[in-house]
Amino acid sequence: MAAYDLDNLLTDIGSVITDNLNTKIAEINTEKGDSLLTTVDSDAVFKQTLRLQTVAYSPYIFYGITSIENISTNGPMSAMNVSVDIGIVLRDEAADTQIISKMFRYHRALKEIFEDDWILAENSIKMSVSNLAPVEFTRLGDETNHRVIGIQINATIP
C-alpha cells in the first residue's frame, strides 16, 4: 500500500468539499425555507495558495495546511499532526443586509460535511473539526471587502 501523505490529505479534503458542500447547502436552504445560500462553483475551490490567481467568485473556498507537528520519530513509523484551515469567502457588498446569516449558514455547511465524513474512508484517517472565527479582510490589490468564516481540520498521518 502506498504511503498516505500531505498531498493525499489535501486531495481527500478537497473531494469532501466538492462532493458534499452543495448538497448540504441545498439541505440548509430547504430547512430554512429560503434560498439565502448559493452553491459554490466547482472552479471556486482553491488549494493551498491564491498567489497567482484572480478570484472572481463569491463565494469561494480556500483551504491549506497551516501547521505540521511531528508526534513521534520512530524511524519509518514516525507520525505527524496536521492542521488544515478551510475558509469560505464572500464578497462583502454594502447592500447585503443578510451577510451575517449567510456566513453562519455557510460555516454550518462546512462543519457538517466534515462531521458527517470525519474518517477519510479509503485511508482510515480520522479528523477532528474545530471552528474558526469570522473575519473581515481586503485582498492585496483588490479594493473589495470580503468576509471569511471556516473550520480547522486536525488529522494524524501515520
3-state secondary structure 32-95: HCCCCCCCCCHHHEEECCCCCCCCCCCCEEEEEEEEEEEEECCHHHCEEEEEEEEEEEEECCCC
Per-residue pLDDT reduced to its tens digit, 68-106:
998 876 666 778 899 999 999 998 887 888 999 999 999
Residue 46 included in any domain: yes
pLDDT over 80 at 156, yes or no: yes
Phi-psi region of 33 (alpha: psi -120 to 50; beta: other; left: phi over 0): left
Residue 59 included in any domain: yes
List, edge to edge, every strand of the sheet that includes 79-91: 45-47, 60-72, 79-91, 145-157, 125-138, 119-120
β-pair partners for 139:
none
> According to the model, what pLDDT value does residue 79 have?
83
Residue 1 included in any domain: no
Find the CATH number of the domain harbouring 61.
Answer: 3.30.70
Residue 106 included in any domain: yes
Structural domains in the chain (count)? 1
Q: Which pTM value belongs to this model?
A: 0.88
Residue 60 included in any domain: yes
C-alpha cell at 142: 483588490
Domain ranges, residue 97: 6-157
Residue 96 included in any domain: yes
Question: Strands 145-157, 79-91: parallel, antiparallel or unpaired by DSSP?
Answer: antiparallel
Per-residue pLDDT reduced to its tens digit, 32-54:
999 999 999 999 999 987 765 66
Residue 53 included in any domain: yes
- Mean pLDDT of all residues belonging to the chain: 87
β-pair partners for 127:
155
Residue 12 included in any domain: yes
